[in-house]
Amino acid sequence: MKQFKEIELFQRSQLSIWTDEYIAKNMLNAHLDKLSDGASRNELVIEKTIDWINSQIHASSNIIDLGCGPGIYASKLAKLGHTVLGIDFNIESIKYAKQHNEIENRTSYRYANYLEDSFEGTYSVAMMIYCDFSALLPNEQKIILSKIRNGLADDGLFIFDVFEKEILDKNPKKRTWSMSEGNDFWCKDPYFLLEEVKHFNDFNRIAYRHFVINQQSRDIKEYITWDGYYNSESIGNLLKENGFKIKTIKKNLIDNTNFKSNDIMFVVAEKMNNYDN
């Protein structure tokens, strides 16, 4: 039997909650639940965020939405006159986006891993919404920032959101277990769920580990995800090291969500022209 050890710093599990065949379908349902903040934020907050993003960008922008999910933001921005390419590696979300969220030749959707894909074209805006940038590990953040830099026009913007420190209090350290009859988010069959939240304070990171133990097959699946948290200075430094500078920081845009933390900082970053990597 496989041996499970303590979660190590920046450890990734082999399985991912975003691409697991069973969970991907439930993830899509969570995205589409207009009241929930589980995968996409609730509808009111999304509308507020769209208004804010629209106020930060030029009319008829050419946008790339990294981790677009089922195309909720992409379709709304397309309706406002922008052109959007959405990229996501949840096949169910991309299928849904293509079927339900295509807007008059102004949207397109691609099933791809944005850490491996190349973004041809000169986009005016790259966006990554719902703290996906926070969920990336340092080496992945470097990769994505370099890809975004290459994909953006000279005056292009990168718009994203990250967690702040309050996420630590909202997600205290824990090790718990529970049982389920199945047919829910984690598993079709009855299962045991072992959950762990571990803080890596020196690295401003939280790790979440879920073991799903199928009661029938005894099969064990392990999923590890991460969240990083930032302040204006630390996000500014990270951006600067990777060829971006902060244009605007917007706090308190989000006030009524119930998932993980409301303590979010939205960032508009612009490409630094004299950056030599």
Q: Smallest distance from the beta carbon of 221 to ligand SAM, in angstroms?
A: 17
Q: Within 10 A of 159 (CB to CB), how many other CB atoms are there? A: 23
Phi/psi of residue 4, nearest 5 degrees = -105, 130
Beta-strand runs (E) in 40-93? 62-66, 83-88
Q: Smallest distance from the beta carbon of 72 to ligand SAM, in angstroms?
A: 5
Q: Does residue 112 contact residue 89 with C-beta atoms inside 8 Å?
A: yes
Strands 264-271 and 244-251, by their bridges, are antiparallel
Strands 205-214 and 107-111, by their bridges, are unpaired
CA–CA gap between residue 77 and residue 66 (Å, rounded): 14
Q: Smallest distance from the beta carbon of 111 to ligand SAM, in angstroms?
A: 9
SS3 248: strand
Q: Smallest distance from the beta carbon of 46 to ligand SAM, in angstroms?
A: 7
Q: To 5 degrees, how large is the angle CA 110–CA 115–CA 117?
A: 45
Phi/psi of residue 32, nearest 5 degrees = -85, -10
Q: Which is nearer to ligand SAM, 57 or 87 (CB)?
A: 87
**Beta-ladder partners of 221:** 212
Q: Which is nearer to ligand SAM, 72 or 238 (CB)?
A: 72
Return residues touching ligand SAM (CB under 6 A): 18, 31, 39-40, 67-69, 72-73, 87-90, 93, 113-115, 129-130, 132
Q: Smallest distance from the beta carbon of 82 to ligand SAM, in angstroms?
A: 15
Q: Within 10 A of 202 (CB to CB), how many other CB atoms are there? A: 7
Q: Element (H or E) spanning 232, and its range?
A: helix 232-241
Q: Smallest distance from the beta carbon of 70 to ligand SAM, in angstroms?
A: 7
| Tokens describing residue 99 | 């079927």
Rounding to the nearest 10 degrees, give the CA dihedral for residues 153, 154, 159, 163.
130
Q: Which is nearer to ligand SAM, 115 or 249 (CB)?
A: 115
Q: Which is nearer to ligand SAM, 130 or 211 (CB)?
A: 130
Q: Which is nearer to ligand SAM, 42 or 204 (CB)?
A: 42
Q: Which is nearer to ligand SAM, 106 or 260 (CB)?
A: 260
Which position's Cβ is nearest ligand SAM?
Answer: 67
Q: Smallest distance from the beta carbon of 24 to ligand SAM, in angstroms?
A: 8
Q: Which is nearer to ligand SAM, 114 or 191 (CB)?
A: 114
